[in-house]
Amino acid sequence: MDILILLLALFVLSLFLGVELITKVPPTLHTPLMSGTNAVSGITLVGALLAAGNDGSPMLVNMLGFVAVTLATINVVGGYLVTNRMLAMFKRK
């Protein structure tokens, strides 16, 4: 139960932090913000790795883990690369 409360505290505080941070992002950068946060949501890769590499679990679990790793990696690699590509174009005169 202790851990659960700690995780919940972390969740709630992160939500408030998110609101503070995101409201300061200028509209010009909203598209990179979306693709960038998309890459961040690829953090599910961490969970996917745990599921895919768990030796001794049923085959089905590894297969689902493989799908999860693939999808999350696309998210991470594609998200960061495309964000970088876009941001590199934003220049001041």
Shortest Å, Cβ 88 to another protein: 6
Q: For the CA atoms of 50, 78, 21, 88, what is the dihedral angle to 10 degrees?
A: 150
> Distance of alpha carbon 18 from its chain centroid, rounded?
14
Shortest Å, Cβ 46 to another protein: 5
Shortest Å, Cβ 50 to another protein: 7
Residues of this chain, 30-89, that bind another protein according to CB under 8 A: 30-89
By CB under 8 A, residue 5 contacts another protein: no
Tokens matching residue 65: 């883990």
Tokens matching residue 7: 């995780």
